[in-house]
Each structure stands twice: as structure tokens, then as C-alpha cells.
Amino acid sequence: MFKKFNDKENISGTTQVKSSVIRSIREKLLDTYPDIKDYLDQILPKKEPIKLIKCHDHIEILALGGEPVFFKQRDFFMPTLKLLHKYPFLLPHQQVDQGAIQFVLSGANIMCPGLTSPGAHLVQADKETVVAVMAEGKQHALAIGVMKMSTEAIKSVNKGIGIENVHYLSDGLWHMKALKK
């Protein structure tokens, strides 16, 4: 999604989000990520101005103080990797083996064999769940992805795309400069 993202070329506009819209976004975030409850006021303070950055390909980015914190493409908001590094418990962790690291960091989707081999670790998750992609021997998430199969299907089929890679370290969103207020 953000492989060739360039903030100068891909941003079509920014708007200040109304407080009523922020309230509905906060409610949706609580529904989607129940573990965020105690930290939501730190992540999206009620009195801080929040900007909505509209980009090409139906991508929207929520920015607090100019820094991107959540993004979405049509469906629902997902945390950025920078936010996930501060609050690692927001998403379930799926771990890939060391051999998959270079492919994940180049934007490739995570294949089932990379999730079932020794060194990998799968946590119970349903299809279409947003997950943090961790790597064997690494502390922080490499990517954020969406499960394309449930964990049972990944283990039984062990073929094809297991997790769609939507945001990874050093992609365009990771390198996005903070917007001026």
C-alpha cells in the first residue's frame, strides 16, 4: 500500500477533524482495538487538534501534531508502525522466521511457509484480523498486515499468502515527514 508512497505526490489534501468526528473515530478504535482503552487519551488526546490527510487510492491518515498515528484504506483505521512500537500490545503478534525478514522489509506479503516453519510463531487469529508482523530474534514489529487466512487454515493449507503486508519499516508512510501545523 505504501511501497511507492511519497507524501509530496500522494497527498491530495488535509483537513482539521471536527470534535464530533473524532468522537466517532475514538469509538470505532475502541471497538476494533479493545486493548487501547486505557491509552486512548494518550494516543488521541481530546483537546489536541487532529488532521485528516487524504491521499490517492482512498487512503486516509490521522495525524496528531503532524505525526501520522492511524491510517486506513476504505475499511477501518490501523495503527502506524511508529505508534505500534510505542504501544506494542495494540495488535496480536504473528512471528515470521529469519528467512522472511528481507522479503517483509521489501514489501512482500507473508507466505504461509514463513509462518509455520521453525522460528515462526502463530497466535490464534481470524481471517481479516489486523496483526503486527514480528520477526524471530527482533524486539519490534517489522510490519502491519491483514490476515488473509485464519491461523487454522494457515497451518493446514501451508500454501499461499497468509498475511497481506500493508505497512512495513522504511516504506513511504514510515518515512513520511511530520506535517506543519
Give the residues across from 131 on adjacent strands: 145
Question: Cα–Cα distance between 151 and 165 in angstroms, integer?
Answer: 16
CA distances (Å), origin 147, targets 58, 91, 132: 20, 12, 10
- CB atoms inside a 10 Å sphere around CB 18: 11
Question: pLDDT tens digit string along 110-141?
Answer: 999 999 999 899 999 999 999 999 998 889 99
Q: What is the residue-averaged pLDDT of the chain?
A: 89
- DSSP class of residue 121? B
pTM given for the model: 0.88
Task: Tell which residue, 133, 135, 128, has the closest CA to residue 168.
Answer: 133
Question: Cα–Cα distance between 154 and 131 in angstroms, integer?
Answer: 14
**pLDDT tens over the chain, length 181 residues:** 666 666 667 778 889 989 889 999 999 999 988 888 999 999 988 888 899 999 888 889 999 988 999 999 878 899 999 999 999 999 999 999 988 999 999 999 999 999 999 989 999 999 999 999 999 888 999 999 999 999 999 999 999 999 999 999 988 888 887 776 5
Give the residues across from 52 on adjacent strands: 15, 62
CA distances (Å), origin 105, targets 14, 17, 25, 143: 29, 32, 30, 8
| Residue 134, CA atoms < 13 Å, CB-side half-sphere | 19
Question: pLDDT tens digit string along 108-117?
Answer: 999 999 999 9
* Percent of residues in the chain assigned helix, strand, coil, to nearest 5: 30, 30, 40
